[in-house]
Amino acid sequence: MRVDGRFRAAAHGRTRAAGRGRARTVALDREVRRDRGRAGGAGSGRGPLRPLRERTGIIGGMTSSLPLLPPNARVFVAGHRGLVGSAVARRLTADGHEVLTRGRADLDLRDAAATAAYLKDVRPDAVVLAAAKVGGIMANSTYPVQFLEENLQIQLSVIGGAHAAGVGRLLFLGSSCIYPKLAPQPIHEDALLTGPLEPTNEAYALAKIAGIVQVQSYRKQYGASYISAMPTNLYGPGDNFDLETSHVLPALVRRFHEAAAEGRDEVTLWGSGTPRREFLHVDDLAAACAVLLNTYDGDEPVNIGCGEDLTIRELAETVAEVTGFRGRLAWDTSKPDGTPRKLLDVSRLTSLGWKPGIPLRDGIAATYEWWREQS
């Protein structure tokens, strides 16, 4: 693994904090220089180096109490205009990091050569991969080729390009749809690859699973400090409110808002309202990503969720109350309900000291306010 200046500086910080003193720091510096000479840079084909943490013994096990991301790090957030990427960019900026971004018009992340050249040019300390081709059931089942190929291309470009540029730290964002359709609830990370996927988004899920394996392979073969996280359903500022393509929560916000504005006395929703789902505010997700970037260095993906679910009926009632819709909710039970329950087991994440901070009703109210300001 090529260790750039900032990653090395963070390692030095940890060495000092561990109380091993200047002599150890200097020794480490020599070791890093020696390794750089030997390695000839990442991707040089001269054989993998053991990761810095193993060679120094600074970070034992999966986690570290000292930040793995150096202070004032330069972090490339891929997909910074999206729901997730924009929240992660806000969070990292608030934490004092420098967020590097590149719009799709200037850098199409499917283009591996252009992405590698960009990453070599800017040489960030870390990369957060929040760029993806994302869509609902309809889009996924109509365009499986694009969902498979574009996501594979983006992942190959960004993860491979980051390694070739010597980036020391990377967080890859997947999705809870990677888990088998009938996984036991709440879904633990160990459920991965234990059963058939939901057929409607199989192509997307397989691309994301390939991303997890890609990250694990860079760890295994090159000792890269790359990690994966699997978020639950997200909502918040930056969400998509287009009724054709949006997820359930923003769709409900829009439908109830319009019904209230038009003075309607009934809104009909699909299904029975009984399926249970989990929702996390995207700012909580971003806080969890910051915790993972700072403390987690394990091979296994980490679920990100709030650990609690509610029925779609309860969600609809909350959204109706927030948006001021006082009419009746009707349920069209001729329409499909989908999986009865989808809740992530978040014990791996909470064991790192993270917990969600935004109650669902408050988060929906803030998101509603944000959307009204935009529209």
Ligand X SMILES: NC(=O)c1ccc[n+]([C@@H]2O[C@H](COP(=O)([O-])OP(=O)(O)OC[C@H]3O[C@@H](n4cnc5c(N)ncnc54)[C@H](OP(=O)(O)O)[C@@H]3O)[C@@H](O)[C@H]2O)c1
User: Which residue of this chain has its Cβ atom nearest to ligand X in the complex?
Assistant: 82
Binding residues for ligand X, rule CB under 6 A, total: 22
345 is an annotated ligand-binding site residue: no
Among residues 175 and 294, whose Cβ is nearest to ligand X?
175
Is 50 annotated in a binding site? The answer is: no
Q: Is residue 119 involved in binding ligand X (CB under 6 A)? A: no
Specify the residue, 209 or 269, whose C-beta has the smaller distance to ligand X. Answer: 209
Rounded CA-CA distance 224/226 in Å is 5
Q: Is 247 a binder of ligand X (CB under 6 A)?
A: yes
In this structure, are residues 117 and 177 in contact, taking their beta carbons and an 8 Å threshold? no
Going by C-beta distance under 8 Å and a sequence separation of 6 or more, which residues neighbour residue 193? 180, 209
Q: Does residue 115 interact with ligand X by CB under 6 A?
A: no
Task: Give the nearer residue to ligand X in terms of CB position, either 168 or 301.
Answer: 301
Contact 265, 257 (CB under 8 A): no
The catalytic position among 204, 218, 226, 296 is 204
Residue from 20, 36, 81, 123 that binds ligand X (CB under 6 A)? 81
Sole binder of ligand X in the list 22, 30, 104, 326 (CB under 6 A): 104
Q: Is 204 tagged catalytic?
A: yes
Residue selected from 29, 31, 35, 108 as contacting ligand X according to rule CB under 6 A: 108
| Adjacent-strand bridge partners of 128 | 77, 171
Cα within 13 Å of Cα(55), Cβ side: 21
Q: DSSP letters of 204-230?
A: HHHHHHHHHHHHHHHHHHH--EEEEEE
The response to whether 240 counts as a known ligand-binding position is no
84 is known to lie in a ligand binding site: yes
Q: How is residue 329 written in tokens?
A: 């909710």
* 188 has binding-site annotation: no
| Whole-angstrom distance, CA of residue 156 vs CA of residue 127 | 14
CB distance 192 to 209 below 8 Å? yes
- Residues 247, 233: contact at Cβ < 8 Å? yes
Q: Does 70 bind ligand X (CB under 6 A)?
A: no
User: Which residue ranges make up the annotated binding site?
Assistant: 79-85, 173-176, 208, 231-234, 247, 255, 270, 277, 337
**Footprint of ligand X on this chain (CB under 6 A)?**
79, 81-85, 104, 108-110, 130-134, 154, 173, 175, 231, 233-234, 247
Mind telling me the catalytic residues? 204
Annotated binding-site residues for substrate read: 255, 270, 277, 337
